[in-house]
């Protein structure tokens, strides 16, 4: 099945009142696991590659091209997205990697949320303008003014009026908002500000994006979708499943030296958990 566009996945979720799900790719094994989950469930999936992951691989193209190849060869609807990119040059490189006849990145998230308001607006507007000329969907993040941790600083909350001004000024297609989640959580205990999600949904003309969803229980995410959240990003939870499986296999077979013998089971475990999440998070929710 050919690659689909992130904008199409998100628009379909908006129309149906369900979630558009994005899982992070860390390496080839995770890309294969996520594609398998989408194939098992028949649920469209956004494959996200973060700037941190690009840095880990010492460059963008090897992992991006591998992910695009996995997505293009899968019997599932998959799109490829660049996530939490602070360097606009990386965005340009990712989009241009699919120029011409080659399929490529169809969406990006420019993350200038650590910058003061005016700088965030300027950088985001420039990226959105450049990407829109090339048909690329743009997500952004509105953080605290100058806040080091952006929208995921403890207690940070997005102001609906400020968010509306940001969206109208920058022309972005989707906005990551602060409603109580936090990145890199390994326990799923977060309670989201559901009332704020409803107010943001009523105020903003673009889909809302929940980052840091690994720390949020399934039913709390479903409540957020019912309140107006659309795109749900998950990474750490699936990374934890991968790592736990590697530990279990090595503990049971300490003499293993062939990495395929423990990476393979970890890949399968991630595929199973990703498939479970896809079924749960995209099941029908009460009308918004």
Which of the residues are catalytic?
Answer: 83
Contact yes or no for 83/22 (Cβ under 8 A):
yes
- Burial label for 172, CB within 10 Å (0-12, 13-18, 19+), is buried
| Secondary structure (DSSP) of 189-257 | -----HHHHHHHHHH-SS-EEE--GGGS-HHHHHHHHHHTEEEEEE-HHHHHHHHHHHHHHHHH-TT--
Q: Is 128:170 a contact under the CB 8 Å cutoff?
A: yes
At 179, phi and psi to the nearest 5?
A: -135, 15
Neighbours of 285 (CB within 10 A): 18
Query: What are the tokens at 173?
Result: 């297609």
């Amino acid at each position: 099945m050919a690659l689909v566009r992130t904008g199409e996945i998100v628009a379909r979720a908006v129309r149906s009142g369900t979630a558009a799900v994005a899982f992070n790719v860390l390496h080839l094994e995770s890309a294969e696991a996520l594609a398998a989950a989408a194939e098992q469930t028949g649920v469209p999936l956004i494959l996200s590659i973060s700037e941190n992951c690009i840095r880990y691989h010492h460059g963008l193209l090897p992992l991006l091209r591998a992910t695009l190849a996995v997505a293009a060869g899968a019997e599932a609807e998959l799109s490829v997205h660049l996530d939490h990119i602070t360097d606009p040059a990386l965005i340009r490189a990712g989009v241009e990697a699919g120029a011409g006849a080659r399929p490529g990145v169809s969406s990006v998230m420019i993350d200038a949320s650590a910058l003061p308001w005016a700088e965030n607006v300027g950088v985001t507007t420039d990226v959105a303008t450049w990407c829109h000329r090339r048909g690329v969907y743009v997500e952004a993040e509105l953080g605290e003014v100058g806040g080091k941790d952006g929208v995921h600083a403890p207690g940070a909350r997005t102001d609906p009026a400020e968010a509306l001004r940001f969206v109208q000024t920058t022309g972005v297609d989707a906005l990551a908002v602060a409603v109580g989640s936090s990145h890199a959580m390994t326990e799923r205990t977060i309670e989201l500000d559901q009332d704020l999600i409803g107010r943001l949904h009523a105020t903003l003309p673009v889909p809302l994006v929940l980052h840091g969803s690994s720390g949020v229980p399934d039913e709390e995410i479903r409540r957020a979708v019912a309140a107006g959240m659309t795109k749900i990003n998950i990474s750490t939870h699936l990374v934890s499943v991968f790592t736990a499986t590697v530990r279990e296999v090595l503990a049971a077979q300490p003499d293993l030296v062939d990495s395929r013998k423990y990476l393979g089971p970890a890949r399968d475990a991630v595929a199973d958990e990703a498939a479970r999440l896809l079924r749960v998070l995209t099941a029908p929710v009460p009308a918004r």
